[in-house]
Amino acid sequence: MEVQETKRLKHYNNKQKILLVGEGDFSFSLSLARAFGSATNLIATSLDSQAELERNYKNGKANVEELERLGCNVVFGVNVHSMTTKPNLGCSATHDRVIFNFPHAGFDYGREHEIKTIMRHQELVRGFMKSARLLVKDEDKGGEIHVVHKTEYPFSEWKLKTLGEKEGLELVSEIEFCLNHYPGYSNKRGSRGYNDSSFPVGKSSTFIFKKQFFY
C-alpha cells in the first residue's frame, strides 16, 4: 500500500480534514489546495450563494471550478451560526482544523471603535466558535480552531481569548499571520459594494484554540 506523502503549507497539511468558513473568493482554500496538489481533504464554505459569488468576485467562479477539479467539497450559503445543521459539512467532531479568516459582521453598524459595532463582531465570532466546537475533533485527537484576526486597536477590543473561554475554548497559541505565506490568497472586504477589494492586513495573527476538557 502506497503511503501518502505529507505536503504542508504553514499550519496545514494534506492529511488533515480541514473546514474553511467565510471564504470570500475562495483564494485561501485554493492556496492550500495548490500546495497540497489536491483538495480532497478540504471543505470550503461561503455565506454567499453561488450566484452572489460570481457577481461579487471576479475570480470567484474560476477559483471554485479549480477547487472542485482538485476534489474540494464547496458549499454555499453557510451561516456560521447554523452551520452544524448542514449535513454536507460532515459529521460532528470529525475535522482536524476549522478556519475562519478575518471574521467581520459587515459595515452597517457604525465605526469600528464603537461599542455597538464591536459587539456585533463579537456576536459573529462567538457564533462561529460555538458551531466550530461541535465540528472539530477533541483536543486529545489534535483538533484546532483557527481565527485569523487583526491585533491592533480597535480590533484588539474584540477580545478573542475571552470569547473563546465563554464557548469552552482555550487559546493555546497566537502566531503572526503573513499574507505572503499563502501564495494566491487575496483577502476581501466582502461587503458594502466593495466585496472584491482587499484591505490592509496590518498586524494580524492566527489565534489557535482547542476545546477545553472541562466545560
Burial, 115: exposed, middle or buried (Cβ in 10 Å; 0-12, 13-18, 19+)? Answer: exposed
> How far apart (Å, rounded) are the C-alpha atoms in residues 150 and 208?
14
Q: What is the pLDDT of residue 101?
A: 97
Domain membership flag for residue 22: yes
Domain membership flag for residue 136: yes
Residue range 70-89: mean pLDDT, rounded: 93
Residue 191 confidence (pLDDT) above 90: no
Report pLDDT digits (tens) over 85-96.
888 886 678 999
Domain membership flag for residue 123: yes
Sheet strands (E) in the chain: 8-9, 12-13, 18-21, 42-45, 73-75, 97-101, 144-150, 169-176, 204-211
Please give the single-letter amino acid code of residue 62.
A
Domain membership flag for residue 62: yes
Report pLDDT digits (tens) over 116-131.
999 999 999 999 999 9
Domain membership flag for residue 4: no
Nearest-10 Cα torsion for 26, 40, 150, 58? -10
Domain of residue 25 covers 9-211
Total domains present in the chain: 1
Residue range 90-108: mean pLDDT, rounded: 85
Residue 108: strand, helix, or coil: coil
Domain membership flag for residue 67: yes
The sign one gets for the Cα dihedral 142, 177, 43, 215 is positive
Domain membership flag for residue 94: yes
Residue from 17, 32, 56, 40 nearest 188 by CA: 56
Report the CATH number that the domain containing residue 120 is assigned in CATH.
3.40.50.150
